[in-house]
Amino acid sequence: MRKLLVIAVCFAFVAPAGARASHPDDVYWHPWMGTGPDSPVWAMAVYDGDLIVAGDFTTIGGVAANHIAAWNGDFWSPLGTGIETPVRHLAVYDGKLIAGTNFDAPIGGWSHLVTAWDGFSWSPMSSDSHSVTVLQCSDGELVAGWRDSGCSGEICWESCWVSSWNGSSWDIFGSFISQDWTPVVFPPATVRFLTRYDSQWVAGGSFSHASGVRVGSLAAYDGESWSPLDSWNAYTMWLYASTVRDSALIVGGAFGNLSAWDGSSWSMIEPQLGEFDFVGILGLYDGDLIVGGEFDPGSGGVPSEKSILTNIDVSIGKLIFEMDEK
């Protein structure tokens, strides 16, 4: 049985048009999935035994597929008529595949930024124009991060929030999430990940306040309000990824390191990945922590370009590398 690690990483400024699933000289990847998509893939999920990929593409493996497609182990196929605009996020909830987009996606004459696939057809889960920044499902609960912005004359505004699906509509978590925003220094408020940890939802991204409290890009929701995770509110780092391993919440982003929260305190994982290294995604595979992003082998954190981060020992705060002999 083939094991499959499902992690999609794509940065718009480096993704080539006509990206391939493999390369003839690539010893790490295999060409069993065909020629790949004609544009970047942004999200992956496993649904009904198939690998689902979504993104900017309109063809994949030579098959026409409107921004979303399924791989059954032998060939690619579209999911109905697909979605009219690029898909950024996927989740599986209540036996359905949920897709989210940051764009206006007209389906049946409506504007739906979250839609559900039941195996036969698409149905809307929203009818507004708010951008979806993250979708996540855990313990039978579907949650989403949202962002909205606009201008009226010379006055511009933005808002950011998290909500859960109650079966017919979205219920907001607490109050809005905001950013001490200046155009040059800080990006707009954005929730980039949602992770279930210690019976709470933890949100991370680029923001400064939640429920009126300074939280520093990372906040926990207890069912009533947002709060910072201990001393993390002192940080102003931009966060992009998180996962839970060995009862610890691990976060990464644009601060050249990984940090672990054990439920009572934070610890920096050593060695640091490098001052300018960037962690874009975290995942677990076969018991190992998988870290994806942009790394400089000469920065001191990653031993060489042929090293693989294979494990993390939270108890001693160490990254474990192995040399790849390929």
Q: What pTM does this model have?
A: 0.79
What's residue 257's pLDDT?
79
Question: Considering the domain boundaries, does residue 4 fall inside one?
Answer: no
Residue 279 has pLDDT above 90, yes or no: no
Q: How confident is the model at residue 24 (pLDDT cuts 50, 70, 90)?
A: very low
Residue 104 has pLDDT above 70, yes or no: no
Q: Cβ distance 145 to 205 under 8 Å? A: yes
What's residue 8's pLDDT?
45
Residue 235 has pLDDT above 70, yes or no: no
Q: How is residue 273 written in tokens? A: 């990945």
Question: Considering the domain boundaries, does residue 255 fall inside one?
Answer: yes
Per the structure, the count of domains in the chain is 1
User: What is the C-alpha separation between 182 and 322, in angstroms, rounded?
Assistant: 42
Residue 141 has pLDDT above 90, yes or no: yes
Question: Considering the domain boundaries, does residue 254 fall inside one?
Answer: yes
Question: Considering the domain boundaries, does residue 323 fall inside one?
Answer: yes
Question: Considering the domain boundaries, does residue 22 fall inside one?
Answer: no
Average pLDDT, the chain: 77
Instruction: Convert the pLDDT of each residue in 38-91 to its tens digit.
Output: 999 999 999 999 999 999 999 999 999 999 999 998 999 999 999 988 999 999
Closest C-alpha among 125, 114, 127 to residue 85: 114
Residue 304 has pLDDT above 70, yes or no: no
Name the percent of the chain lying above pLDDT 70. 67
Distance of CA 158 to CAs 96, 129, 189, Å? 31, 13, 8
Which is higher by pLDDT, 6 or 251? 251
Q: Please, which residues bridge with residue 325 across strands?
A: none
User: What is the C-alpha separation between 56 and 16, in angstroms, rounded?
Assistant: 12
Question: Considering the domain boundaries, does residue 87 fall inside one?
Answer: no
Domain range holding 261?
243-326
Instruction: Convert the pLDDT of each residue in 41-53 to its tens digit.
Output: 999 999 999 999 9
Question: Considering the domain boundaries, does residue 257 fall inside one?
Answer: yes
Question: Considering the domain boundaries, does residue 41 fall inside one?
Answer: no
In this prediction, residues 118-123 reach a mean pLDDT of 95
